């Protein structure tokens, strides 16, 4: 599986849906900011759950190209143009996450921004995975 070590400081509440920290050694696989458009750079969804789902699908595809699997994920940073839409979509986001990555919970940050470079984009995700050397 993986030799990632989850970091949970004593006395801290256990996080739900993310990790406080992860220690890992291996080959890095990183994505750029990935948005929720299709391979032909069109947006099939204009709502938060739809774009988030497509962005996760795109992240998963990039990780596969780098010979990384979901359990290699160690960090995810999500930039969103509407924090309220993110909060209102947690159930759909969770379903999308499980569909693409299962029960893998990396370190995660969600950051509200005023806009993204692609005007139609409402979410942009950066991901980092660490593939253990022995997995190569």
24-49 pLDDT, tens per residue? 889 999 999 999 999 999 999 999 99
Query: Which pTM value belongs to this model?
Result: 0.88
DSSP per position, the chain: ----EEE--TTSPPPSSSBSEEE--SEEEE---EES--TTS--S--SHHHHHHHHHHHHHHHHHHTT--GGGEEEEEEEES-HHHHHHTHHHHHHHHHHHH-S---EEEEEE-S--SSTT--EEEEEEEEE-GGG-
79-94 pLDDT, tens per residue? 999 999 999 999 999 9
- Structural domains of the chain in order of their starting residue, each with its CATH number: 5-135 (3.30.1330.40)
- Average pLDDT score over residue span 98-111: 95
Read off the pLDDT band of 1 (50, 70, 90): very low
């Amino acid at each position: 599986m993986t030799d990632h070590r989850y970091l949970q400081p004593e006395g801290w509440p256990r996080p739900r849906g993310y990790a406080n920290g992860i220690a890992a050694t291996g080959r890095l696989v990183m994505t750029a900011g990935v948005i929720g458009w299709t391979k032909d750079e069109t947006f099939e969804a204009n709502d938060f759950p739809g774009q988030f789902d497509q962005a996760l699908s795109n992240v998963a595809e990039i990780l596969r190209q780098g010979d990384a699997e979901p359990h290699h994920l160690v960090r995810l940073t999500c930039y969103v143009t509407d924090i309220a839409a993110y909060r209102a979509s947690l159930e759909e986001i969770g379903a999308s996450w499980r569909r693409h990555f299962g029960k893998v919970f990396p370190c995660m940050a969600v950051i509200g921004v005023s806009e993204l470079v692609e005007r139609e984009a409402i979410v942009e995700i950066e991901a980092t995975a660490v593939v253990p050397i022995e997995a190569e």
